[in-house]
Amino acid sequence: MSKEVWDLLVVGGGPAGLTAGIYGARSRLKTMIVEKGRPGGQAATTEEMENYPGFGRGAKGPDIMKAMKEHAEDFGVVIKKEQIVDLDLTGELKKVITKKGDEYFARAVVLAPGAHPRSLGIKGERALVGKGVSYCATCDADFYEELEVVVVGNGDAAIEEAIYLTKFAEKVTIIVIHDEGILDANKASQEKAFANHKINFVWNSVLDEIKGDGMVESVVIKNLKTGELTEMETNGVFFFVGYTPNTDFLKDKVALNDHGYIIVNEKMETSVPGVYGAGDACEKYLRQVVTAAADGAIAAFAADKYLAEEEGFREQVLEADEPVLVAFWSPQNEKSIEFVSNLEQNLDEIGHVKLVKIDVYRNQLVANRYEVKEIPALLIINKGQLVGRLPGEFNVKTIKEAVAAGSN
Amino acid sequence: MLVLDKDNFEAEVLSAKGSVVVDFWSPKCEPCMELMPEIVALSEKYGSQVKFGKVDVSQNRRLAISQKVLGLPTIVLYKDGEKVAELTKDFVVDDVEGKIKELL
């Protein structure tokens, strides 16, 4: 069976991956998204989502993500439910390997694996997951009708999910590490939380331990100012204390920062040509659905340009019948402009060759691949092979000899 | 899959002979909704040897808590009415199948 090759393979089906899919498909790229669970990512488990442009008051994360998924499928994106466990990104043809052992091939890859809520590793936390310790309010809020819960954290997620929990729980206590009145969450959510009579705050404090035999029974709260430990009865503990990127499988595949986030530039390029990052797994300033979607759009656009350049280079240079002179130049470099102009005027004299100009400002990929560090530079490629490399001094005789030598 | 609630849980699970797989879920729980069709597929594969049931926690909160289930998704395996295995939060359908095989 011949292997099926995708133009664009997207790892992850959250807002970043789905948007990359939409943009990829719209560029007529044969696009597949591989998602291990249900498309929608973390946004699909965020009940209230009133900050995504165009979807105002009362908007729900699951609804928005369902619309995004249908949008992608409507444009022809194939969504596969698989978990990627390994990748080979080094060659021009990228390979990903699923948990089941299936292999998929693609010419460009967008990595959008997202992030998951961080666990703190407090005593009792791990043992009581699913027994009162939770990281997902929409999953577990039902259990706490008429009961009391503790929320740890004070960013957007913590405050918004605490407000959501008050629809079920009798009392929600938020443990805040900062001084009284200081929250990291957006002002609109802060105001809602302060006005909610079911919400109580414990300031200057962290959780020290979660206690319970088979089910959460109480928490031990530590006051950071006084060092005092207080035990408080509760039925549940929800953690919203930041995120950990889902990038373990990307170690040694693309460059990650010290915290495991994918390092990308403004074009969402990773350290590997043809491989892009998008969404919460990337090193970035603001992690929101809207910025994830933006990343996905940029990544797919950049991937499309990359594929076009690769395609162009292959057709014009690597698959050409005659020897090709590849001239590296840039509109900003006077000497290189003069060099290319000289070449064009003397092409007939050089002989049966084709001239291809590469603007290094726009196409760094080819320059990097052939290790062209200074311009002007001239390469001779015959039948796809590099057969000559000439320095940037124009000399018809030298070029002619080099072409002749390379054509034998 | 058998729909379980407070009225039939005792008879169908706790007093029942043999093995029962119970899927605790809720319509608001996205991971649960994602898992459900896969559990249905398992029920078709192993249905002749093991009984499969599901509990909608949004309607049967106290029942779930009585089984010490306080987080979703959770799959509990019972044998002769005794809880013998439990998977909660971070697991995939393959883990469930593995537990079922251990039971057989």
Tens digit of each residue's pLDDT (9 = 90 or more) over B20-68: 999 999 998 888 988 999 999 999 999 999 999 999 999 999 999 999 9
Which of A131, A143, A216 has its CB closest to that of B61?
A143
Which of A132, A142, A236 has its CB closest to that of B57?
A142
Cα–Cα distance for residue pair A175/A153, rounded to 1 Å: 6
Q: Report percent pLDDT > 70 for chain A.
A: 99
Nearest to B74 by CA among B29, B30, B24: B24
Contact A37 B34 (CB under 8 A): yes
* B-chain residue closest to A39, CA distance: B34
| Band of pLDDT at residue A406, cut at 50, 70 and 90 | confident
The token pair at A80 is 């596969």
Out of A7, A140, A295, A359, which one is annotated catalytic? Answer: A140
Biggest distance spanned by C-alpha atoms of chain B:
32
Nearest to A108 by CA among A308, A317, A265, A366: A308
Taking residue A15's Cβ as centre, other Cβ atoms within 10 Å add up to 34
Cα–Cα distance for residue pair A211/A230, rounded to 1 Å: 12
Nearest to A7 by CA among A307, A268, A302: A307
* pLDDT at residue A274, as a whole number: 95
Per the CB < 8 A criterion, the answer to whether B56 and B28 are in contact is no
Mean pLDDT confidence for A223-228: 96
| Band of pLDDT at residue A396, cut at 50, 70 and 90 | confident
- Does A159 score more than 90 pLDDT? yes
Please report the ipTM that was assigned to this predicted complex.
0.85
* A-chain residue closest to B93, CA distance: A37
* pLDDT at residue A45, as a whole number: 85
Nearest to A222 by CA among A189, A175, A266: A175
Q: Which residues of B are catalytic?
A: 29, 32
Q: What is the 3-state secondary structure (H, E, C) of A153-173?
A: CCCHHHHHHHHHHCCCCCEEE
The nearest CA of chain A is from the CA of B68 a distance in Å of 7
Contact B32 A132 (CB under 8 A): no
Looking at the DSSP assignment, which residues form a beta bridge with residue A106?
A: A6, A94
- All residues of chain A having their beta carbon less than 8 Å from the beta carbon of residue B30 are 38, 40, 44-45, 62, 138-139
pLDDT tens-place string over residues A242-300? 999 999 999 999 999 999 999 999 999 999 999 999 999 999 999 999 999 999 999 99
Which of A38, A62, A129 has its CB closest to that of B88?
A129
* B-chain residue closest to A99, CA distance: B94
Give the predicted TM-score (pTM) of the model. Answer: 0.82
Between the alpha carbon of residue B38 and those of residues A343, B42, B44, the distances in Å are 65, 6, 10
Nearest to A296 by CA among A115, A114, A118, A67: A114
Contact B68 A236 (CB under 8 A): no
Mean pLDDT (chain A) is 93
Cα–Cα distance for residue pair B58/A142, rounded to 1 Å: 6
Contact B88 A130 (CB under 8 A): yes
- Does A70 score more than 90 pLDDT? yes
- All residues of chain A having their beta carbon less than 8 Å from the beta carbon of residue B26 are 139, 142
Cα–Cα distance for residue pair A211/A200, rounded to 1 Å: 21
The nearest CA of chain B is from the CA of A42 a distance in Å of 10
pLDDT tens-place string over residues A22-55? 999 999 999 999 998 889 999 998 888 888 999 9
Cβ-based interface (< 8 Å): residues of A facing B: 37-38, 40, 44-45, 47, 62, 83, 129-134, 136, 138-143, 145, 214-216, 235-236
Residue A133 CA to chain centroid, in angstroms? 28
- Does A7 score more than 80 pLDDT? yes
3-class DSSP state of A108: strand
Q: β-strands A354-359, A324-329: how paired? A: parallel
DSSP letter at A205 equals E
Cα–Cα distance for residue pair A138/A295, rounded to 1 Å: 26
More confident position, A392 or B16: B16
Contact B26 A142 (CB under 8 A): yes
The token pair at A37 is 């669970």
* pLDDT at residue A2, as a whole number: 62
The token pair at A161 is 């999910």
More confident position, A363 or A291: A291
Contact B30 A40 (CB under 8 A): yes
Out of A74, A86, A102, A139, which one is annotated catalytic? Answer: A139
Pairs of CB atoms within 8 A across A/B: 73
Torsion sign over Cα A238, B94, A20, A70: negative
Whose tokens are 């590099």? That residue is A386
